[in-house]
Amino acid sequence: MTSITSASLPLLQLQSSLKRKPCNLKSSTTMRRFTTKASASETTSAAAPAPEPSKLPMRKIPGDYGLPFIGPIKDRLDFFYNQGRDKFFQSRAQKYNSTVFRANMPPGPFIASNPNVIVLLDAKSFPVLFDVSKVEKRDVFTGTFMPSTQLTGGYRILSYLDPSEPRHEQLKRLLFFLLKSRSSHVIPEFHSSYTTLFETLENELAKEGKASFQTANDQAAFNFLARALYGTNPSDTNLGRDGPSIIQTWLLFQLGPIMTLGLPKFLEDPTLHTFRIPPFLIKKDYKRLYDFFYESSGFALDEAVRLGVPREEACHNLLFATCFNSFGGMKIFFPTILKWVGRAGVKLHARLAEEVRAAVKSNGGKVTMASMEEMPLMKSVVYEAFRIEPPVPLQYGRAKKELVIESHENAFVVKEGEMLFGFQPFATKDPKIFENAEEFVADRFVGEGEKLLKHVLWSNGPETEGPTLGNKQCAGKDFVVLFSRLLVVEFFLHYDSFDVQVGNSSLGSSLTFTSLKKASY
């Protein structure tokens, strides 16, 4: 769930510039997915075959890594401060006349021993990162460095395991079990938690004339996850209302090397990107989180033991899946959805309100899985938000063997062991795939537009595929889609329209509501 804030620059301009510089070288989400039981795929062989030939012109991968130590630091400073994230990639793609090139990815010295990557920026080359027969996903969840396992109880958590590792299948089965066993609680608990959030926003708006979404959403998201997945209300435990603030600090300890807090360069780079924050500083608070999950998840821990996973290791994984993957996703993506819907204006709001209310009314006045399947515009809006601003922008994988990868224009040879890196927001705004790729088009995925969903990439795979035991798609990927749909549904059951001010935060966008027009029915 990594996210690094920066102003967006259009990929359309990038690819247009590439066309002007010719190469001169010689050569429907439903609950059923949560019960997936596919077996892990085989990922090794006695002798790796030679890469398949390509019909595209072969080209040496352009770019270089610069001088040791100096090159990675220069790229880090460009990435965070001198250029910013999007311009960092765009400028190099224009320089090399290629959407595939070599660069260094942060953090570099002294946190990451090898920051060298091959960057993939287009929709055609990017999917190789999901093919576990070609790339290894071991310890690459956060990129060229891995946070200390002291932050996760001394264990390598599921997100850092490659599907070829036996523990990967055991832990993913555990998460499938949790999601399946608690699926009936999701919709009612979401309604309860987010009705409270709306009341909080309305009270603050009446009192202050504006209302911040972030803090209220963090509390609602954590309460919802705890109640829906574990049947426990955090306020009734020793954790109280401290969960979201502890998680946010814990996330900083893990993601600090690849994010910016907006502090001055001379202060932030040496402290956040050069040395790790000592894990012992969060140890006491993390123990509070762990105790909450251990006491709340007995039924899931019993299943873990049956699967061959010790209770302690299982608990750290449940905590991570809930707090990093699920809570982190809601923290980043919920403001994203409301930002784009808010900017779209009252005409879209009216269409969404009409569709949502009609579908709920025709299904007995209740929000159900069946009623949401009758909301094509609502579903398209959520998918479009995933496309234009995916909550997981960075993807990594290490080549298991020599590969040939293809952009739209060229083919490139990748050597065994090289690190591949994909910047997802450019791949999902590829103008060769999407018309008006930089624009938020609410009904893009309605009707025939559903065929484009295979190009919506955001959770270690395309939207048209689900998590299995043999791939690296997040086990709760379809739950996040469901949560996001529920946000839009509940919002337009409560309100006709809204106005919002958008800012930046260390994890995505910050929102301030300036008006909420209550539902007129």
Which amino acids are annotated as binding site for heme, given as ranges?
A: 474
Which residue positions form the known binding site? 474
Contacts of 355 (CB under 8 A, 6+ apart): 375, 376, 377, 378
Indicate the angle between helix axes 243-255 and 283-296, nearest 10 degrees.
120
**What is the spatial distance between Cα 406 and Cα 411, in angstroms, rounded to a whole number?**
4
The 10 Å CB-count burial string (b at 16+, else e) for 54-68 is: eebeebebbbeebee
Decide: 337 and 487 in contact? Cβ < 8 Å: yes
Reply yes or no: is the peptide bond before residue 110 cis, omega within 30 of 0. Answer: yes
> What is the full DSSP assignment across 350-411?
HHHHHHHHHHHHHTTTS--HHHHTT-HHHHHHHHHHHHHS-S--EEEEEESS-EEEE-SS-E
Contacts of 424 (CB under 8 A, 6+ apart): 126, 390, 392, 393, 394, 395, 457, 458
Length of the chain: 521
Instruction: Give me Rg for the CA atoms of the chain.
Output: 23
Could you count the other beta carbons within 10 Å of the beta carbon of residue 185?
Answer: 15
CA angle 168, 419, 279 (to 5 degrees): 60
Residue 423's H or E segment, with its range, is strand 419-423
Q: Which residues are paired to 101 by β-bridges? A: 119
CA angle 294, 298, 300 (to 5 degrees): 105
